[in-house]
Amino acid sequence: MSPTNEAADDSLGRFSRAADTASTDVIRTYSTSFGLATRLLGPRHRQHVRNIYAMVRIADEIVDGVAAQAGLDTSAQTEALASYVAETHRSMRTGYSTDLVLHAFARTARECGIGEDLTQPFFDSMSADIADPADFAVYDAAAHERYVYGSAEVVGLMCLRVFLRDAVRTEKETAVLTHGARQLGAAFQNVNFLRDLADDTDRLQRGYLGDSGRLTDADRDAWVRTVEAQLDDARRSIPLLPKDARAAVRSALALFAALTRRVARTPASELYRRRVRVPDPVKALLAARAVVVTAMERDR
């Protein structure tokens, strides 16, 4: 049976809507906090950011245990990630993929100017996570910097390209925003390293914070100071964002600032036993405050 012309003309649109739904479902499954933040974005940004998150989330899951639990050894995990990378870049060139999440991401990448200059460093960091689980991987300062740039800072830069795609900013403003996006991504990643010490150390055999032993309270304090400085840099760039992106970014920043304060109050030894989190009512309050602050600002 042949479709009507109208149905045929709308086939790509229907497929793309299904792709967006798939990306949104990934967020709902993996991150209530990020899902809350995206709901604060203006409609023109919201789905694009969800599409970015879904793409990077799936890649992260390939290297963080899902593939291994499915029975893939390190060689097969490397092959699975390489296949995902190739399909991501192919879909970015063509605007189409049979993989719903990558189809959604490709549409976002093409509309917002996200290229392989950002996706390849991300995939390089993901590839670094594939290692023999019997070997404890220690990241020195240089390796940590490279990993954080690829795994987190470029994701911030992808989101920035979404926010600025219809905006005009001076060269100086763009530099401030670029630095802020990178610093925010780095802060998010470093906080997660601190709160995921137990899982990273015991299950994944990774020492992202540069120590194959145990972090001391003094080590924790040094990392907290680093994160606080990164958050301060990111905070200064928020007023330069389009107004319909500010509440979401403020909310996410406030959440991670709250996480950082809780990490700072938690003995390092306890960080190896439990994951620090912010209660849902506090998250809601932080989001509400971000909305109120943004509503009082002028449009940009």
* Contact present, 219 and 211 (Cβ < 8 Å): yes
Tokens of 297: 């600002």
Q: Which residues contact 243 (CB under 8 A, 6 or more apart)?
A: 294, 297, 298, 299, 300
Tokens of 224: 């907290």
pLDDT of residue 240: 97
pTM over 0.85: yes
pLDDT of residue 3: 41
Tokens of 100: 């719903």
Alpha-carbon gap, residue 126 to 200, rounded angstroms: 14
Phi, psi of 298 (to 5 degrees): -75, 160
Sign of torsion over alpha carbons 167, 171, 172, 174: positive
Where do the domains of the chain lie, and which CATH numbers do they carry? 9-130 (no CATH), 140-300 (1.10.600.10)
Alpha-carbon gap, residue 228 to 224, rounded angstroms: 6
pLDDT of residue 9: 56
Any idea which of 77-91, 101-115, 137-151 has the lowest mean pLDDT?
A: 137-151
